[in-house]
């Protein structure tokens, strides 16, 4: 916008000034009902980050609501919203995803093991021997599902499908551990951190990356925002925002108990 | 302009450090170098600074080796993969175990009890982030000190007489994915030690600690700005192109800030040429596994570095596998051997090629496949060493690329080769495996990030997963080979007795005629062998020692108790039948003539 105004020149300076005042709204697409990520009431951490972005860019926040978990899943969500130009931004995508254009990462977290503290299981990786004796829960089509598969442990484990079903809360994964339906749940920490305060008896331990079985196994991910593939202008703006608001972003994530795991070198790109 | 100013400041600082450091250290250096020429001892991991793993001893020779027998053994108390080797200094033997990295000192005059032992505090954060078993490749000696690093990244200098800690330093932080598996090399008053952690994109570095105080003197990164890599853009030579690297030689080959997760870890073996005053080592795979996420040559991952040990400044650098898509880490040992009257560096790379470089300037002299099945490259330019990649074998997102040779474990991994200066041949314990590689993009399933890369490793020839060969590095000719069922993941030793020693993954310890490849002696050890044999004299008798304890990446399934065959996927499936042949162990085996 600034560049455009400069190009147009002095003659329309007043027009430009008024354009700034009525700057285009920041159009975010988000799920109306998927806590702790987002909801229509603005309770999710994605909502809070969207608000911070809008405020910092001096733009009004405008949502287009569409379920992340409808028919076709998140891919279809992107096709129906961002790709269809109903919005310009989604708040939460893994860094480096080829589906859209991702910004620099603004947090990094990890898949985790969740189990009852009092059981005191000695679990430090997917290869910990005790796992072979335990009932394991996992979210289907995630890295832990692959990790279990290559260890031939998949058939004895219980699949969850929080990421596929509208209305299903990630809290069910914690409840399953609490109720003893599974001994260990392997899940993405940011999905369950928000609910863990209701389960004081549960312990959370990260799943480390490895390639012990020969295949690279990645359980830690850097997360970023995403814009349409050709929208490098907004990407640049967002990168600047991320660089300038690291501590504000961290404060939001902390308040949702999203555990940040240091990546190599102790910093995020 | 700012960068240039900084650079100048660095050169001055480096020069000062170099000047201050020179006089007393030269002495310690000479002493250690002299000791390494005494065949009665084994004073550094590779036997000598050139890591030739050759000994002049010949009491045990082709005529009498059939009379070899076990002289004594010792349990290390640890049941994980035992890579590495003991040292023998005078009458003392020293060894370090896999994690928790306990150190034992044994008086060879009194093997009935430990002279001392040192049990470092355990760092529970380290084993989970160790890539491929919790191995340790040995310790170093200099100036009355035993120096080693724990898996958790602490460096200890112990009094060789008492085991008392003289100093402790930190080289890595497991909370950031950093660990240390390598053995240090001591050059003058510097302890050189690198870092592991490619699975976390740890940006690799070589550290030099002061032998007397444990203070970090310099640290040189494998990628990033010139100052961090200790490159002099005008003086550091690009070995491939034989001209100065120029400014930002690494930064130009990465997209944006990706070099910060650039990998290039330095977990292999280190060697040193005292005449040229250069240390040599290699760097590992670039940060992100998926190559389509990191366009560019990703310099200087997968490269050989030559550095001045006093200042860390790079004299030259040579990249073998630009833009790696197969995990062919360039960390294997750099053997310093004089061939055809030239000072050469010989490197059997994971990518299946054996590189002969002029070790003065990194100029390529010869490059040959040492396994005929290699197919990831169509050719290697004989002048520059730059490969022409076979497009059908490049891994990419979402595509299952079949029958790539070698597999990620390489045609050779860390298991060190031995150079026999008598036959002028290299005796190489090798892998012989190929792979199918399916790499996926990173995706998002509502609420759950997802990425996958599934590797299916398989023997390159039916029933043959390892080879032990005698190789002419100049001509590329394999003089003879022994085919083995499993990867030969233990190192080699050659002696003036006309023998090459090595151990197999299923536990056979062998002595082989260097001229014919005939197996003259073999003994089934309690556990598979991934350690490196050494030899020494004590009381007029020659001994050969090797660690027996299966594990490491090759036998990870066994080390982690993963014995179920799993649809043939990855390293576990590859060696599933190993458990029919051997079991976990941790024993020092010492052999001598009857």
What string of pLDDT tens digits covers the 269 residues of chain A?
Answer: 444 444 444 444 444 444 444 579 999 999 999 999 999 999 999 999 999 999 999 999 999 999 999 888 899 999 999 999 999 999 999 988 888 999 999 999 999 999 999 999 999 899 899 999 999 999 988 999 988 987 888 888 999 999 999 999 999 999 999 999 999 999 999 999 999 999 999 999 999 888 777 777 889 898 999 999 999 999 999 999 999 999 999 999 999 999 988 665 444 43
The C-alpha of B520 sits at a distance from chain A's nearest C-alpha, in angstroms, of 34
Interface of A with B in 199-258 (CB under 8 A): 208-216, 218, 220-221, 223
Q: Which residues from chain A sit within 8 angstroms of residue B446, using beta carbons? A: 31, 34, 68-69, 73-74, 77, 163-164
Q: What pLDDT is attached to residue B140?
A: 98
Contact B289/A at CB under 8 A: yes
Chain B residue nearest residue A109, CA to CA: B449
Q: Which residues from chain A sit within 8 angstroms of residue B173, using beta carbons? A: 266
Question: Would the CB atoms of B452 and A143 count as touching at under 8 Å?
Answer: yes
The C-alpha of B374 sits at a distance from chain A's nearest C-alpha, in angstroms, of 19
Alpha helices (H) along chain A: 2-8, 13-21, 45-57, 73-80, 143-150, 171-178, 189-192, 232-244, 246-255
HEC-encoded secondary structure of B423-480: CCEEEEEEECEEEEEEECCCEEECCEEECCEEEEEEECECCECEEEEEEECCCCEEEE
Q: What's the angle, vertex CA B278, arms to CA B220 and CA B410, rounded to 5?
A: 70
Distance from C-alpha of B411 to C-alpha of B14, rounded to nearest angstrom: 38
Question: Would the CB atoms of B292 and A98 count as touching at under 8 Å?
Answer: yes
Contact A70/B at CB under 8 A: no
Cβ(B452)–Cβ(B317) below 8 Å: no
Distance from C-alpha of B498 to C-alpha of B106, rounded to nearest angstrom: 29
For B63-121, write each residue's pLDDT tens digit: 999 999 999 999 999 999 999 999 999 999 999 999 999 999 999 999 999 999 999 99
Question: Would the CB atoms of A214 and B569 count as touching at under 8 Å?
Answer: yes
Cβ(B142)–Cβ(B186) below 8 Å: yes
Is residue B547 over pLDDT 90?
A: yes
Q: Which residues from chain A sit within 8 angstroms of residue B289, using beta carbons? A: 216, 218
As annotated, the active-site residues of B are 327
Minimum-distance CB partner of A150 among B129, B175, B569: B569
Nearest to B45, CA basis, from B177, B154, B149? B149
Contact B329/A at CB under 8 A: no
Q: What pLDDT is attached to residue A51?
A: 98
Minimum-distance CB partner of A152 among B200, B290, B566: B566
Contact A113/B at CB under 8 A: no
| Arithmetic mean of pLDDT, B271-282 | 98
Q: Which residues from chain A sit within 8 angstroms of residue B445, using beta carbons? A: 73-74, 139, 141-142, 163-164
Cis previous bond, B406, omega within 30: yes
Is residue B572 over pLDDT 50?
A: yes
Question: Would the CB atoms of A143 and B128 count as touching at under 8 Å?
Answer: no
Taking CA atoms, B511 is separated from B54, B427, B526, in Å, by 14, 12, 17
Question: Would the CB atoms of A264 and B202 count as touching at under 8 Å?
Answer: yes
The pairing of strands A184-188 and A136-139 is parallel
A32-36, A115-119, B252-256, B357-361: least confidently modelled range: B252-256
- Give the best-scoring range by mean pLDDT among B18-27, B169-178, B252-261, B377-386: B377-386
pLDDT band at B562 (very low <50, low <70, confident <90, very high): low
Q: What pLDDT is attached to residue B579?
A: 87
Interface of A with B in 178-197 (CB under 8 A): 187-188, 191
Backbone angle region of B345, left / alpha / beta, with phi > 0 → left and psi within -120 to 50 → alpha: beta
Is residue B3 over pLDDT 70?
A: no
Minimum-distance CB partner of A213 among B197, B407, B569: B569
Contact B133/A at CB under 8 A: yes
Minimum-distance CB partner of A37 among B256, B447, B569: B447
Residue with tokens 């000190």: B145
The pairing of strands B519-524 and B314-319 is unpaired
Q: Which residues from chain A sit within 8 angstroms of residue B177, using beta carbons? A: 209, 263-264
Question: Would the CB atoms of A163 and B445 count as touching at under 8 Å?
Answer: yes
Cβ(B585)–Cβ(B549) below 8 Å: yes
Question: Would the CB atoms of A73 and B176 count as touching at under 8 Å?
Answer: no
Q: What pLDDT is attached to residue B28?
A: 61
Chain A residue nearest residue B408, CA to CA: A214
Mean pLDDT of chain B: 91
Can you name the residues that pair with A220 across neighbouring β-strands? A110
User: What tokens appear for B356 in the block?
Assistant: 């002969």
Question: Would the CB atoms of B449 and A98 count as touching at under 8 Å?
Answer: no
The C-alpha of B250 sits at a distance from chain A's nearest C-alpha, in angstroms, of 17
Is residue B569 over pLDDT 60?
A: no
Is residue B5 over pLDDT 70?
A: no
The C-alpha of A83 sits at a distance from chain B's nearest C-alpha, in angstroms, of 16
The C-alpha of A245 sits at a distance from chain B's nearest C-alpha, in angstroms, of 19
For B387-442, write each residue's pLDDT tens digit: 999 999 998 877 889 999 999 999 999 999 999 999 999 999 999 999 988 877 78
Q: What pLDDT is attached to residue B290?
A: 73
Identify the residue among A193, A214, A223, A267 best suited for mutation to test binding to B, counting B beta carbons within 10 A and taking the highest: A214
Nearest to B231, CA basis, from B202, B217, B251? B251
Q: Which residues from chain B sit within 8 angstroms of residue A211, using beta carbons? A: 131-132, 199, 327, 408
Minimum-distance CB partner of A214 among B442, B443, B572: B572
């Amino acid at each position: 916008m600034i560049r455009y105004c400069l190009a147009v020149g002095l003659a329309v300076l007043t027009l430009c000034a008024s354009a700034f005042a009525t700057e285009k709204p920041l159009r975010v697409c988000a799920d109306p009902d998927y806590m702790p990520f987002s909801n229509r009431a603005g309770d999710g951490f994605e909502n809070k980050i969207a608000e911070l972005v809008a405020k910092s860019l001096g733009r009004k926040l405008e949502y287009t609501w569409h379920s992340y978990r409808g028919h076709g899943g998140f891919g279809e969500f992107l096709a129906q919203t961002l790709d269809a130009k109903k919005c310009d931004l989604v708040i939460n995508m893994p860094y480096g995803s080829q589906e859209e254009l991702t910004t620099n990462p603004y947090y990094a977290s990890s898949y985790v093991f969740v189990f009852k503290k009092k059981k005191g299981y000695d679990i430090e990786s997917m290869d910990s021997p005790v796992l072979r004796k335990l009932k394991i829960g996992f979210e289907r089509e995630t890295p832990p599902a692959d990790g279990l598969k290559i260890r031939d442990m998949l058939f004895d484990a219980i699949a969850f499908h929080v990421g596929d079903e509208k209305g299903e809360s990630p809290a069910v994964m914690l409840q399953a551990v609490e109720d003893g339906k599974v001994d260990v749940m392997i899940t993405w920490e940011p999905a369950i951190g928000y609910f863990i305060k209701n389960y004081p008896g549960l312990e959370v331990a990260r799943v480390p990356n490895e390639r012990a079985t020969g295949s690279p196994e990645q359980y830690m991910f850097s997360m970023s925002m995403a814009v349409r593939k050709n929208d490098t202008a907004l990407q640049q703006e967002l990168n600047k925002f991320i660089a300038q608001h690291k501590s504000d972003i961290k404060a939001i994530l902390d308040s949702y108990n999203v555990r940040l795991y240091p990546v190599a070198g102790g910093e995020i790109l | 302009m700012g960068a240039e100013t900084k650079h100048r400041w660095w050169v001055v600082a480096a020069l000062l450090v170099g000047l201050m450091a020179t006089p007393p250290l030269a002495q310690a250096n000479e002493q250690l170098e002299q000791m390494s020429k005494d065949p009665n001892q084994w004073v550094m991991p590779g036997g000598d600074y050139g890591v030739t793993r050759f000994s002049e001893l010949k009491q045990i020779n082709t005529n009498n080796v059939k009379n070899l027998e076990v002289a004594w053994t010792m349990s290390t108390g640890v049941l994980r993969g035992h890579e590495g080797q003991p040292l023998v200094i005078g009458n003392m033997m020293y060894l370090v175990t896999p994690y928790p990295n306990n150190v034992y000192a044994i008086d060879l005059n009194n093997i009935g009890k430990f002279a001392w032992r040192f049990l470092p505090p355990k760092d529970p954060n380290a084993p989970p982030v160790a890539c491929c078993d919790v191995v340790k490749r040995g310790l170093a000696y200099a100036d009355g000190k035993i120096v080693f690093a724990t898996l958790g990244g602490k460096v200890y200098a112990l009094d060789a007489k008492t085991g008392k800690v003289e100093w402790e330093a930190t080289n890595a932080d497991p909370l950031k994915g950093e660990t240390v598996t390598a053995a240090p090399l001591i050059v003058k008053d510097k302890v050189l030690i690198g870092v592991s952690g490619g699975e976390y994109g740890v940006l690799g570095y070589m550290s030099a600690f002061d032998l007397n105080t444990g203070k970090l003197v310099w640290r040189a990164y494998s990628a990033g700005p010139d100052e961090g890599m200790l490159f002099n853009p005008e003086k550091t030579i690009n070995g491939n192109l034989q001209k100065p690297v120029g400014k930002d030689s690494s930064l130009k080959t990465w997209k944006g800030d990706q070099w910060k997760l650039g990998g290039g870890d330095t977990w292999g073996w280190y060697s040193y040429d005292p005449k040229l005053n250069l240390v040599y080592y290699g760097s590992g795979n670039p940060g992100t596994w998926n190559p389509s996420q990191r366009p560019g040559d990703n310099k200087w991952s997968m490269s050989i570095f030559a550095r001045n040990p006093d200042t860390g400044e790079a004299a030259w650098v040579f990249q073998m596998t630009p833009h790696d898509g197969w995990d062919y880490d360039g960390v294997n040992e750099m053997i310093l051997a004089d061939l055809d009257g030239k000072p050469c560096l010989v490197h059997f790379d994971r990518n299946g090629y054996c590189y002969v470089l002029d070790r003065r300037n990194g100029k390529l002299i010869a490059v040959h496949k040492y396994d005929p099945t290699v197919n990831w490259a169509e050719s290697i330019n004989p002048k520059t060493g730059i490969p022409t990649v076979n497009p059908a074998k490049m891994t990419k997102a979402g595509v299952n690329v079949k029958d790539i040779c070698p597999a990620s474990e390489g045609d050779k991994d860390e298991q060190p080769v031995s150079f026999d200066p008598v036959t002028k041949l290299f005796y190489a314990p090798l892998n012989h495996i190929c792979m199918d590689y399916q790499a996926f993009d990173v995706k998002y399933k509502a609420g759950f990030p997802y990425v996958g890369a599934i590797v299916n490793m398989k023997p390159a020839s039916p029933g043959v997963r390892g080879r032990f060969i005698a190789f002419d590095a100049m001509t590329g000719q394999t003089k003879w080979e022994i085919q083995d069922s499993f990867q030969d993941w233990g190192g080699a030793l050659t002696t003036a007795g006309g023998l090459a020693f090595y151990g197999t993954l299923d536990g056979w310890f062998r002595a082989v005629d260097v001229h014919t490849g005939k197996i003259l002696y073999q003994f089934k050890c309690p556990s598979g062998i991934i350690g490196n044999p050494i030899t020494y004299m004590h009381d007029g008798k020659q001994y050969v020692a090797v660690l027996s304890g299966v594990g490491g990446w090759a036998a990870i399934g066994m080390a982690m108790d993963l014995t179920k065959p799993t649809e043939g996927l990855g390293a576990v499936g590859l060696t599933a039948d190993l458990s029919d042949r051997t079991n976990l162990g941790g024993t020092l085996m010492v052999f001598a003539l009857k």
